[in-house]
Amino acid sequence: MSKKVTYAGENSTSFQTKVLVKSIFIYIALILLTLVCLLPIWILVVNATRTHAQIIDGVSLIPSANFFKNLNTLKTNDLYTQFFHPIRGMFNSLIIAGSCCALTVFFSGLTAYGLVVYDFKAKGPMFSFILAVMMVPSQVTAVGFMKMLVSLDLLDSYIPLILPSIAAPAIVFFMRQYMLSSFPLDIIEAARIDGSNEFRTFLTISIPMMKPAFAVQAIFAFIQKWNDYYNQSLVLVSGKTNQLTVPMMVQKVLAIDRNPDFGANYAAITLSIIPVVIIYLILSKFIIGGVAAGGVKE
Amino acid sequence: MNKLKKSLALVAMLAIASTAFVGCGDDTDAGNKPAETTAAPAETTAAPADDDADTEETTPAEDAAPAIKFEDSDPTLTVLCWTGDDINKMIENFGDDNVKYVNVGSKGQEAREQYSTYFAGGEDVDLFILEADWILDYINNDEYCAPLSDLGFTEADFDGCYDYTVSIGTNEAGVLKAASWQATPGAYVYRTDLAETILGAKTRDEMQALCKDWATFEKTAETAAAKGVAMADTLGGMWQVYQYNKDNAWVVDNKLVVDDYCKDYAELAKRWSDKGYVTNVAQWAEDGSWYQIGQDGKTMGYFFCTWCLGAGSMLSNASGGVDEEGNPVNPDVYGKWNICTGPSSYAWGGSWLAVSPKCNTGTLAHDFVEYFTVNEESMEEYALFKSEFVNNPTVMKKIVDDGKNKNPLLGGEDQFAVLYEAAGLIDMDGKITKYDSVIKGDFNDAVNKYVNGDIADVDSMINEFKKSVAADVEGIEVE
Amino acid sequence: MATSAQKRIKSVSYAKYGYIFTAPFFIVYFIFMLWPLIQTFILAFYGNGSPTKVSTPTTIDDFMGFANFKTILFGARSTSFKEIAINEEFVLCFKNTVLIWVGNFIPQICLSLLLAVWFTDLRVKMPGKGFFKVVMYMPNIITAASVAGLFLSLFGDSEYSVANMLLMEWGILEENFKFISTDISSRILVMFIQVWMWFGNTMIMLMSGIQGINESLFEAAEIDGANSRQTFWKVTFPLLKSIMVYTLLTSMIGGLQMFDIPYMLHTGFTLNDYIKTVAVFIYEKFHKDYMSPSYGYSAAASVILFVITAILGALVFYVQRDKDAIEIQKKRKAAMKEYKRKMARGGGLGL
């Protein structure tokens, strides 16, 4: 994108003013949006540095100095230590979200590739099926899901949290649409002629070309799975402390109803979002860098 | 904060409870393996309930010398609970390292479903704590809850307790299944400085005279409102007092009972709210406003019960709390409270101990229950240890007479003296039903809409309330 | 010469890869998701209430035919108080769902598209572009529960909520406004939160779509003197269509199944009627009274929601579908030409 292109009429003053005005306008809009995006998060983080009494006293935008005191409450107060072990929780969440993310992206890509590249009889029905199941309301299927887990003895296991992410209809659909709009099929033909087998073509040619789509979906998948309290608490029934994930821990912290320490609660929330922010920032390089897709540059 | 937890907390766990029932429903079409596993618990829940009850009723008679029916195969006593607040102190006071607890980590309301999830998961549980709103769900369920006689107790053991706690702990078949370690009378807790400047009430008795019944309370509220101070903290608080004095249970003979009392309350709520006799803050609100109105002098006082008055409790929050060194953050408010009976006596909440049929730490479980619900000596010790209103009038009388309890939040006053009287008047016999939590929620919803002006009059409000109940509760008649 | 025969052999032999590549998806889907789904459909035809007849008139064992659907959709015509109540509740939830969805989807897609175009516009050179992009997605990182809690303390009913404090301080309001308990404001709040949480997500999706468009096309357009608007309507928008369809579909589905925020944004222990969505209805019927749950109503409402979503989805998809097919056809033709060309050139080597 850093390529220097000479635009028609670029040197005329009116053009330059126009661009300048537009840029300023865009800048103002973006700054406003940034404020709207960050303000609530900022308040959350600031509250993590304030004491219970301060928080009850009202909102503030200026951090106070009590973050470590709140951390200490999390570490020492029985009410919190009974289920809040951030390191353990992050490790557990990382295993779940990480594997889910990898499986989702890889298999969705594979499925989409299969649906776009090959011609086979069941292709149409398969795609219609994927479209149809995208529309299933997720609330009620939980009953059948749980019933099955009981019969397979899979409760309190990470398997039912991780394995189903192989089948992500919406992401398959995204990948398919993406491939349709920007994946040159001739490159596959070329690879075939070069003697590459189908699976290798997928791995070595199509995945690198699909990087932006993969990166985007990887971020989405990771964050969604990291925050997926609903399914985690459904499957990890007994709530064994060494199995708890970050959102489950946070939820339990927030559920303390008799003597909650708001400061410690906010500190727990803040701790829980830090890893996601870090991973997001790492992966977001792909988005920010604007990895050029399209693959074939003639 | 409170709604935070409501939020996803609910979103989740219940489904498992449900699976048991679904399993039952689908036996016919679902084939072999899955159905078998899931259906089994559901069947035991349902069918043999009556038979079990019969045999249990005869048990106490058979065992002249009460025997513990559970073995001692596991050294660790596991107590299931939904808040660490009580159990931490109990274990500390009980002083046995073999007592551990599992906290399902949710608000009382959601805990009822989370428990069944936990039970379904088959993890170890010996004793569990139940809440007034949903205790009936469990004590009438023989799959999850065994009679206390299995722990070697007779009904006579609990003669010293407040009667109402025993009758609530007794199931439909007349079997005693749960014992409470606390009584939960409530009272009116007010700011002494405001009472003096605005109402001229210097003592507890003078204050009580100003709020001795609803009419007087309202008159006093008028005076206070003129100075911009509400007499009642929240509609939620008023409702706790009001609902306790409701004559009828919500459901009688499988029919929803909507009596004049409901209409009276709705009108009172609307009037008070319009006139500023009650603040527009909600109990347990996320923004901490429930506590702030106390600190800011927007309310004269709160309707609080026994468990709202200890260190770090609701009253402590309303007083601004204490810093690390234990010094009051807001000395202008801290300790400037007193307590009086209020317009009518009432009780709010309460917790019971029950035993799981899978208990495998029999002796220790017995000792634990005995320590907190039967043994007067240890109960007295615990009462002073946690500033808890224990479930024994004799013990509480003694503490009041000795004058040992001094609550710094109340400026050194003893809340038990006032609460002791209220506790003696508690009578909840036949008034609680297993639909209560849902019905109460629907009722307050309707009242709130009426108060906000979304519903024009009381009759439409009652109609709206009935509709919500009809839609929410399966199996009771609504007309 | 033998190209047509060769082609047939080729395509036949490659077809199996289509099955192999898609197999893991379908196997996992059938095991973990289709079975629970079928379960739901079955439940929709059974009764509500506890597993025994002790306290409820029907049980989940009773086959009810279409009774649940009838109650939910046409209960108002019945004389039973209960049926009327359930129908009214569902109708309200449905109305809320549509209102909130429209109010969040339209601003969201406009904002996201605008931002995506700005961020991918080669002409507007903005330092800090990356920073903005990162920030806009941030709200999506936080768990819905925390978001709801945060907004409840910002826009709470009481005079202590941030919004009320400020508005009263500035003299705009005389007394506190009940943002959460008032119908219009609570719906707007949900719309706002939904946009706030999801516009970054949509924006990134659209951006990845735009980046997928061959860069040389933009450059060509710019060299040809096209202005931003022309570039957008003539180049970006047409090529973005398939990703737009995706966005439209997922957003529509997500919107119709909106659950978290409407479920959590309330003061007190009961849900807020004005923002109750169909998904909340489904969940509530399922969980509220867990000792005698209304599985039948819950499942029937899910089926209804599914049918509505499917119809809308099919509509969106079929509007777009032909063009997709044509596009595939075109690409395939081009690929074949290329292949033929290469075959012809490569000659015997290919064998």
Please name the chains neighbouring B, where neighbouring means 3+ C-beta pairs under 8 angstroms: A, C
Q: Which residues in chain C are contacts of B454 at CB distance < 8 A?
A: 181, 183
Interchain pair B8, C182: CB under 8 A:
no
Range of the domain at A192: 80-288
Residue B398: per-residue pLDDT = 93
Q: Is B287 in contact with B317 (CB distance < 8 Å)?
A: no
Interchain pair B466, C81: CB under 8 A:
yes
Q: Residue B229: which pLDDT band, with cuts at 50, 70 and 90?
A: very high
Q: Residue C133: which pLDDT band, with cuts at 50, 70 and 90?
A: confident
| Whether A7 contacts chain C with CB within 8 A | yes
Residue A56 maps to a domain:
no
Same-domain status, A142 and A9: no
Residue B53: per-residue pLDDT = 41
Residue A119 maps to a domain:
yes
Higher pLDDT, A112 or B56: A112
Distance (Å, rounded) from C-alpha C223 to C-alpha C262? Answer: 49
Distance (Å, rounded) from C-alpha B98 to C-alpha B85? Answer: 18
Distance from CA of B95 to the nearest CA of A (A): 16
| Whether A134 contacts chain C with CB within 8 A | yes
Same-domain status, A31 and A179: no
pLDDT at B7 over 70: no
Number of domains in chain A: 2
Question: How is A240-268 classified by DSSP, letter by letter?
Answer: -GGG--HHHHHHHHHT--SS--HHHHHHH
| Whether C277 contacts chain A with CB within 8 A | no
pLDDT digits (tens, 9 = 90+) for C48-71: 876 554 556 667 678 888 999 999
Q: Residue C203: which pLDDT band, with cuts at 50, 70 and 90?
A: confident
Distance (Å, rounded) from C-alpha A29 to C-alpha C115? Answer: 10
Residue A290: per-residue pLDDT = 43
Q: In B, residues 371-390, which contact C (CB 8 Å cutoff)?
A: none
Distance (Å, rounded) from C-alpha B251 to C-alpha B469? Answer: 11
pLDDT digits (tens, 9 = 90+) for B112-123: 778 877 887 777
Distance from CA of A179 to the nearest CA of B (A): 36
Residue C128 maps to a domain:
yes
Same-domain status, A126 and A214: yes
Distance (Å, rounded) from C-alpha C140 to C-alpha C101? Answer: 18
Q: In C, residues 158-177, which contact A (CB 8 Å cutoff)?
A: 160, 162, 165
Q: Which of B313, B288, B307, B345 is nearest to B409 (CA)?
A: B313
Q: Which of A136-145, C149-158, C311-320 has the highest mean pLDDT?
A: C149-158
| Whether A154 contacts chain B with CB within 8 A | no
Q: Is A261 in contact with A77 (CB distance < 8 Å)?
A: yes
Residue segments in chain A with a per-residue pLDDT below the cut of 70: 1-12, 139-140, 143, 147, 257-259, 285-298
pLDDT at B276 over 60: yes
Q: Which residues in chain C are contacts of B468 at CB distance < 8 A?
A: 85, 89
Burial B150-176 (b: 16+ CB within 10 A, else e): bbbbbeebbebbbebbbebbbbebebb
Same-domain status, A43 and A84: no
- Kindly identify which residue of chain A lies nearest to residue C40, measuring between CA atoms: A141
Q: Where are the extended beta strands (E) located within B253-393?
A: 255-256, 301-305, 337-340, 346-347, 351-355
Same-domain status, A242 and A178: yes
Same-domain status, A93 and A218: yes
Over residues B265-278, mean pLDDT: 94
Higher pLDDT, B267 or C1: B267
Residue C320 maps to a domain:
yes
> Which of the residue ranges A121-130, B69-78, C37-46, C215-224 would you say has the lowest mean pLDDT?
C215-224
| Whether A278 contacts chain C with CB within 8 A | no
Question: How is C30-88 classified by DSSP, letter by letter?
Answer: IIIIIHHHHHHHHHTTB--S-SSTTT-SS-TTSB-TTHHHHHHHHGGGSS-HHHHHHHH
- Closest Cβ–Cβ partner in B105, B313, B320 for A255: B105
> Which of the residue ranges A17-31, A44-58, C97-111, C322-336 would you say has the lowest mean pLDDT?
C322-336
Please name the chains neighbouring C, where neighbouring means 3+ C-beta pairs under 8 angstroms: A, B
Distance (Å, rounded) from C-alpha C191 to C-alpha C212? Answer: 30
Same-domain status, A278 and A138: yes
CA-to-CA separations, B376 to B88, B315, B396, B398, in angstroms, rounded: 20, 28, 10, 11
Distance (Å, rounded) from C-alpha B204 to C-alpha C258? Answer: 52
Same-domain status, A208 and A249: yes
Residue the block writes with tokens 């404001």: C185
Give the global pTM: 0.81
Residue C57: per-residue pLDDT = 64
CATH number at residue A92: 1.10.3720.10
Residue C244 maps to a domain:
yes
Q: Which residues in chain B are contacts of C269 at CB distance < 8 A?
A: 6, 109, 441, 444
- Closest Cβ–Cβ partner in A145, A253, A256 for B83: A256
Distance from CA of A217 to the nearest CA of B (A): 24
| Whether C288 contacts chain A with CB within 8 A | no
Distance (Å, rounded) from C-alpha C269 to C-alpha C271? Answer: 7
Distance (Å, rounded) from C-alpha C61 to C-alpha C83? Answer: 20
Q: Which residues in chain C are contacts of B8 at CB distance < 8 A?
A: 143-145, 260, 264
Higher pLDDT, B5 or C45: C45
CATH number at residue C62: 1.10.3720.10
Q: What percent of chain B has pLDDT over 90?
A: 49
Q: List the Cα angle B126/B132/B135 in 5-degree steps.
A: 50
Of the residues A71, A76, A233, A252, the best mutation for testing chain B's interface (the one with the most B CB atoms within 10 Å of its CB) is A233
The 3-state DSSP composition of chain C as helix, strand, coil percent (nearest 5) reads 75, 0, 25
Residue A295 maps to a domain:
no
Helices (runs of H) and strands (runs of E) counted in chain C: 14, 0
State the burial class of residue B51 (Cβ atoms within 10 Å of its Cβ: 0-12, 13-18, 19+): exposed
Distance (Å, rounded) from C-alpha B212 to C-alpha B344? Answer: 7
Residue A286: per-residue pLDDT = 64
Q: Which of A140, B467, B444 is nearest to C87 (CA)?
A: B467
Whether ipTM exceeds 0.90:
no
- Closest Cβ–Cβ partner in C126, C145, C282 for A26: C126
| Phi, psi for B142 (deg, rounded to 5) | -75, -15
Domains of chain B: 2-183+349-398 (3.40.190.10), 188-347+410-472 (3.40.190.10)
Same-domain status, A120 and A234: yes
Residue C52: per-residue pLDDT = 53
- A246 token code pair: 């970050």
Distance (Å, rounded) from C-alpha B476 to C-alpha C57? Answer: 9
C-alpha R_g of chain C: 27
Residue A294: per-residue pLDDT = 33
Residue B32: per-residue pLDDT = 37
Give the H/E segment covering residue B433.
none
pLDDT at B37 over 90: no
pLDDT digits (tens, 9 = 90+) for B138-167: 898 888 899 999 999 999 999 999 999 999
Same-domain status, A38 and A102: no
Q: Is B234 helix (H, G, I), strand (E, B) or coil?
A: coil
Q: Residue C342: which pLDDT band, with cuts at 50, 70 and 90?
A: low
Residue C350 maps to a domain:
no
- Closest Cβ–Cβ partner in C49, C60, C159 for B475: C49
Residue A291: per-residue pLDDT = 37
Residue A257 maps to a domain:
yes
Question: How is C166-198 classified by DSSP, letter by letter?
Answer: HHHHTTS-SS---TTTSHHHHHHHHHHHHHHHH
DSSP A7: P
Residue A111: per-residue pLDDT = 95
Average pLDDT, chain B: 82
Residue C324 maps to a domain:
yes
Distance from CA of C283 to the nearest CA of A (A): 6
Number of domains in chain C: 1
Residue A240 maps to a domain:
yes
> Which of the residue ranges A92-106, A202-216, B329-343, C284-298 would you say has the lowest mean pLDDT?
C284-298
For helices C295-346 and C3-29, angle between their N-to-C axes, nearest 10 degrees = 150
- Closest Cβ–Cβ partner in A230, A237, A253 for B121: A237
Q: In B, residues 403-442, which contact C (CB 8 Å cutoff)?
A: 434-435, 438, 441-442
Distance (Å, rounded) from C-alpha A80 to C-alpha B85? Answer: 11
pLDDT at C288 over 90: no
Range of the domain at C321: 38-345
Q: Residue B17: which pLDDT band, with cuts at 50, 70 and 90?
A: very low
- Kindly identify which residue of chain B lies nearest to residue C183, measuring between CA atoms: B454
